[in-house]
Structure 1
Amino acid sequence: MKDLEIYVRDLEVGAVSQWLEGQLDQLELDDSQVDSVIKGTALFQGAGLRITLYPGAFGKRFTSLVMEGEALPWSSDLDCARSAWRSLDTEVRCSPGDWMEGDPVEDEKWWRLDHRGEHLVNWN
C-alpha cells in the first residue's frame, strides 16, 4: 500500500472535500468540521483509498492529510502538496521524501509551499 501525507495550515471547513472531488471518484469525506480526526474513502482508477485528516498537527495550526491506497492520484507528497496549494490557497507542507520513522526530526527539512513559492525549510 502507498501513502501520501501533507500538512495544511489553517484548514477551512469543506476545503479538502471540495479539492478532492475533482481528483477522486465516489468521495465520502465529511469535513464540515475540522476539530477532530476525520476519516473518509474514495476511489482512484477503480481502487479504494482511505483518507484521514488529523487536526492539530505541529502546534495546532496544521492539519495532517493522509491518503492510503494501491493507486494514488499523485506520485509524491510534493506533487500532492502542489495540487493542494493551488486549490486551497493556504500554506501546505510536506516531507522531501527521504525521512524515515526514527530519524532525528531537528535536522529535517520540509517543503513549504505558499505565496512566496516552494522552499525547503526547517519546520519552525
Structure 2
Amino acid sequence: MTQERHPDIEIYVKSCSISQIETWFSELSDTWQHEFSQGVTHEYKLSIEGKQIPVLIHEKVAGKAWSSIWFKSDETPWFKDLDCARVAAVALATQVRCIAGGWKSGDDPDEWWKIEGDEEALIQWATN
C-alpha cells in the first residue's frame, strides 16, 4: 500500500519567534522573501529545489505558545506533515506537532504527533 502525499504541509511549533523561523527558512530554501504581515499573520514565498512554495505563519494559535507554519503546496520536499515536523524539531530546537492522520473523514482530529528532540509520540491534543 502506498501512502498518499499530503496536498500541503502544516506544522505547529512551540515558542519560536518569527526571526527563528526565518533563519530556518534561510537554511531550508534557495531563496525566500517576506510577502506580507498583518498582526500575527505572515506570508512568505520560498524557493525550494526550484519550486515556489507559498507559506503562511500564524502566531499564537492553539494557545499563545504555538505558531502554525503552513506550506501551501504539494511540491514541498516532504511527503507528509510528519516528515516536515521531524526536520523542524531539529532545526528549531523546539517541540513540533502535526496532525497524525490527515483531514479526511474518519481521521481523529485530536490525534497528533508530538516531536521533541529524538522523541516522537502520538498524543491527544484538543485544539479547541
Q: TM-score band (shorter)?
A: 0.7 to 0.9
- Asked if the contact 1:113/1:119 (under 8 Å) is kept, the reply is yes
How has the CA–CA distance of structure 1 residues 46 and 91 changed in structure 2, closer, same or farther, with 3 Å as cutoff? Answer: same
Identity of aligned residues (%): 29
Residue 101 (structure 1) shift? 7.1
Q: 1:72 and 1:26 mapped to 2: Cα distance?
A: 14
Q: What CA distance in whole angstroms lies between the structure 1 residues aligned with 2:74 and 2:9? A: 11
Residues 84/10 of structure 1: CA separation in 2 closer, same or farther (3 Å cut) = same
**Structure 1 match to 2:76:** 72
Correspondent of 1:6 among 11, 32, 55 = 11
Identify which of 18, 32, 46 aligns with 2:23. 18
1:99-114, aligned counterparts within 5 Å? Answer: 99-100=103-104, 105=109, 108-114=110-116
TM-score (norm 2): 0.80
Report deviation, 1:115: 4.1
Residue 70 of structure 1 and its aligned partner are, at CA, apart by: 4.5
Matched, 1:27 2:54: no
Q: How many residues align?
A: 121
Computed over aligned residues only, the root mean square deviation of the Cα atoms, in angstroms, reads 2.7
Structure 2 residue runs of 5 or longer lacking an equivalent are 1-5
Q: Secondary structure at the match of 2:28?
A: coil
Task: Indicate yes or no: 2:90 matched with 1:86.
Answer: yes
Q: Distance in 1 between matches of 2:34 and 2:105?
A: 28
Does 2:51 match 1:41? no
1:61 aligned residue? 65
Which of 114, 123, 128 is matched with 1:121 structurally?
A: 123
In structure 2, the CA distance between the partners of 1:75 and 1:104, relative to structure 1 (3 Å rule), is closer
State the distance in 1 between where 2:105 and 2:16 align: 26
- Cα deviations by residue, 1:29-88 (Å, 9 ceiling, x for unpaired): 38xx9x610100011232211011011111221000000224102111111001000011
AA aligned opposite 1:120? L
Tell me, what secondary structure is at the counterpart of 1:110?
strand
